[in-house]
Structure 1
Amino acid sequence: MTGTILIGTASWTDKALIESGLFYPDDVKTPAGRLHYYATQFPVVEVDSSYYALPSVRNALQWAERTPPDFTFDVKAFRLFTQHQTDPQALPKDIRDALGPVQKANVYYKDVPPELKDELWTRFAMAMEPLRAAQKLGVVLFQFPPWFVPSRAAFDHILECAERLRGFQLAVEFRNRTWFEGDRAARVMAFEREHRLAHVVVDEPQGFASSVPALWEVTCPHVAIVRFHGRNTDTWDKKGLSSSGERFNYLYGPAELTELAEKVRGLGRTAKSVHAVFNNNFGDYAQRNAAQFRQMIQGL
């Protein structure tokens, strides 16, 4: 049996996508209109804005209302939860006030008092509830930073995230190659299987400290996640880029997509559902490749 394969892109509101004028019709100019139109083209989307600021219940209600019954949202976890540096201005005002003066430009998860952490997790979970109630929530994606390296503390933090969001399906993406070096790869896969965490398969440039190999394995029978970051080795680790789109400036060719389609179909023989998400968000590259990929999957 083959699981359902959902193909989509990371974000429907990306600035470079909108400015390209190559995806949305000329008369689609509002957030509501863009989401409605996107949902006519693809069955799944990744919410990127939730990484930069806590999502709101109101927005989640609107997302659920503006999409078809079988539409799916994968939601990125708030950056503080993934141990990324976080500008205090990204925190809700009352949390910021309770935190008090911050001596550094950024705060990290370890800097936040337990009671404020509790409140932030509660608000994030509450914001996800309308999507879950509408059966439109896929996974909560935890994309950890390059400095998040394998250690007892790192594994404990992942388990804390899972406990904080008990009842939600978590997906885990690493950005440091040491997670999968040598025999550690098997241990990481076993850890994810034990705790029913969806391993995020990545297609991305190789040869960097922040590169991880594409391990085409299913660690949660419910869902498998694949994210396509492109293969631009010139920009993957380049500093001073004008936008994230510059980093992911890569358009997959037909031969590459054909090879990847076979592997995605392979995941579908084990997982009930596979979400294949294109994150090569340079102009309309992600949407173009996602449309091509859908045709290839349907043709296999």
Structure 2
Amino acid sequence: MSILVGTASWTDKTLIESGAFYPRGCTSAEARLRYYASVFPIVEVDSSYYAMPSASNSALWVERTPAGFVFDVKAFRLFTGHQTERKFFPKNLQAELPDTGKKNLYYKDIPPPVLEELWARFFAALQPLHVAGKLGSVLFQFPHWVTAVPKALAHVEHCAERMHPFLTAFEFRHESWFGEKHRESTLAMERERGIVHVIVDAPEGVTNRAHTVWEATSPELAIVRLHGRNASSWSGAESAAERFNYEYSDEELRELESPIKAIARSAARVHVLFNNCYRDVAQRNAGTMRRILEVE
């Protein structure tokens, strides 16, 4: 049984500003990653969602972390169906983007040659982590407007095909994927394609949230992402920090011990990642969860 516990991001703005996790004088990008990796065995890269990652940064991450450290990397936002402003594309590709007259571009708007170049650059950025054995999975976080309809399913399967042979994980935000009608077909699609199913812990009774399904669809890995349970700020929050401002109680974390250990019997590895990124809340919760699960 291999369970790794960590957080989503080590550079969150509120985390750094809080001064509550990093030691005094730990102010450079290198120092922060080295310190984080001395405390936790895994981290989720959040910056790759907002802008195309680079191979040079990946090489630095490999160098600055110990052997066995793991990075789960979020896919670039365009790939997952999110709206993407021109400024988030690589600068030398922006002139090749179509003039739609709108602020945001979507995957369907992008010319095929540009898409090919974006996929190529994304793969190149992952390569140093992959070669070093430090790439855990690539996380595709699909937004709530990507619903379980044929057109969206076709794009989801397209992403699965494009990511081969990297181990890839899907997190859905619309409830239709794991509602009564589509639950079994969604899980079957993930199993057939070797996609890692992401088990979501989030507020109950809110919109823009997929059902929590404790299933492992890949024999290699299962992922549990904990977003906090702040129902009042889940929808309509002005910032991610506000949305995920929630600290799990020790009792809530202990209640998760049994299902996490159960899922660990169905997959070779389990990644438990706290995405309740507000100040050092995620780091404190992750530390507590490691003690509860009795893992390093």
Q: 1:255: which partner in 2?
A: 251
- Secondary structure at the aligned position of 2:294 is classed as helix
**Residues 140 and 171, structure 1, Cα contact 8 Å, conserved in 2:** yes
TM-score normalised by structure 2 residue count: 0.98
Q: 2 CA distance for matches of 1:41 and 1:262? A: 24
Q: 1 CA distance for matches of 2:144 and 2:114? A: 25
Deviation string, structure 1 residues 214-254 (Cα, Å, up to 9, x no partner): 11100001000000000001000024x2x211101110001
- Secondary structure at the aligned position of 1:115 is classed as helix
Structure 1 position 236 matched with structure 2 position 234: yes
Residues 37-48 of structure 1 correspond to what in structure 2 (within 5 A)? 37-48=35-46
1:51 partner amino acid? Y
- Secondary structure at the aligned position of 2:104 is classed as coil
Q: 2 CA distance for matches of 1:177 and 1:210? A: 7
Report the CA distance between 1:138 and its aligned residue: 0.5
Q: 2 CA distance for matches of 1:27 and 1:137? A: 29
Q: 2:261: which partner in 1?
A: 265
**Which of 285, 291, 294 is 2:290 aligned to?**
294
1:271 partner amino acid? A
**Residues 98 and 110, structure 2, Cα contact 8 Å, conserved in 1:** no
Change in CA separation of 1:118 and 1:21 when aligned onto 2, cut-off 3 Å: same
Deviation string, structure 1 residues 16-55 (Cα, Å, up to 9, x no partner): 0000110000121100000000001100000000000000
Percent identity of equivalent pairs: 50
**Residues 98 and 109, structure 2, Cα contact 8 Å, conserved in 1:** no
Report the CA distance between 1:290 and its aligned residue: 0.1
Q: 1 CA distance for matches of 2:246 and 2:207? A: 20
**Residues 70 and 136, structure 1, Cα contact 8 Å, conserved in 2:** yes
Report the CA distance between 1:102 and its aligned residue: 4.1
Report the CA distance between 1:261 and its aligned residue: 1.6
Report the CA distance between 1:183 and its aligned residue: 3.5
**Residues 206 and 212, structure 1, Cα contact 8 Å, conserved in 2:** no
Q: 2 CA distance for matches of 1:93 and 1:255? A: 48
Q: 1:7: which partner in 2?
A: 5
Q: 2 CA distance for matches of 1:100 and 1:179? A: 32
**Which of 262, 268, 274 is 1:278 aligned to?**
274
Q: 2 CA distance for matches of 1:50 and 1:77? A: 6
Aligned residues: CA RMSD: 1.0
Q: 2 CA distance for matches of 1:60 and 1:275? A: 20
**Residues 206 and 213, structure 1, Cα contact 8 Å, conserved in 2:** no
**Which of 139, 156, 164 is 2:162 aligned to?**
164
**Residues 228 and 277, structure 1, Cα contact 8 Å, conserved in 2:** yes
**Residues 57 and 126, structure 1, Cα contact 8 Å, conserved in 2:** yes
Q: 2 CA distance for matches of 1:175 and 1:141? A: 13
Report the CA distance between 1:209 and its aligned residue: 2.6
**Residues 50 and 76, structure 2, Cα contact 8 Å, conserved in 1:** yes
Report the CA distance between 1:142 and its aligned residue: 0.2
2:203 partner amino acid? P
Q: 2 CA distance for matches of 1:272 and 1:224? A: 8
Q: 2 CA distance for matches of 1:16 and 1:93? A: 28
Report the CA distance between 1:100 and its aligned residue: 4.5
- Secondary structure at the aligned position of 1:104 is classed as coil
- Secondary structure at the aligned position of 1:227 is classed as strand
Q: 2:83: which partner in 1?
A: 85
**Residues 79 and 85, structure 1, Cα contact 8 Å, conserved in 2:** yes
Q: 1:105: which partner in 2?
A: 103
**Which of 139, 142, 163 is 1:141 aligned to?**
139
Structure 1 position 95 matched with structure 2 position 90: no
Q: 1:115: which partner in 2?
A: 113
Q: 2 CA distance for matches of 1:94 and 1:238? A: 34
- Secondary structure at the aligned position of 1:235 is classed as helix
Gapped runs of 5+ residues in structure 2? none
Q: 1:175: which partner in 2?
A: 173
Q: 2 CA distance for matches of 1:216 and 1:199? A: 9
Gapped runs of 5+ residues in structure 1? none
Deviation string, structure 1 residues 136-179 (Cα, Å, up to 9, x no partner): 00110000001000112222212211221211011000111111
Report the CA distance between 1:295 and its aligned residue: 0.2
Total equivalences in the alignment:
295
Q: 1 CA distance for matches of 2:197 and 2:98? A: 37
Q: 2:195: which partner in 1?
A: 197
**Residues 11 and 48, structure 1, Cα contact 8 Å, conserved in 2:** yes
- Secondary structure at the aligned position of 2:223 is classed as strand
- Secondary structure at the aligned position of 2:105 is classed as coil
Report the CA distance between 1:95 and its aligned residue: 1.3
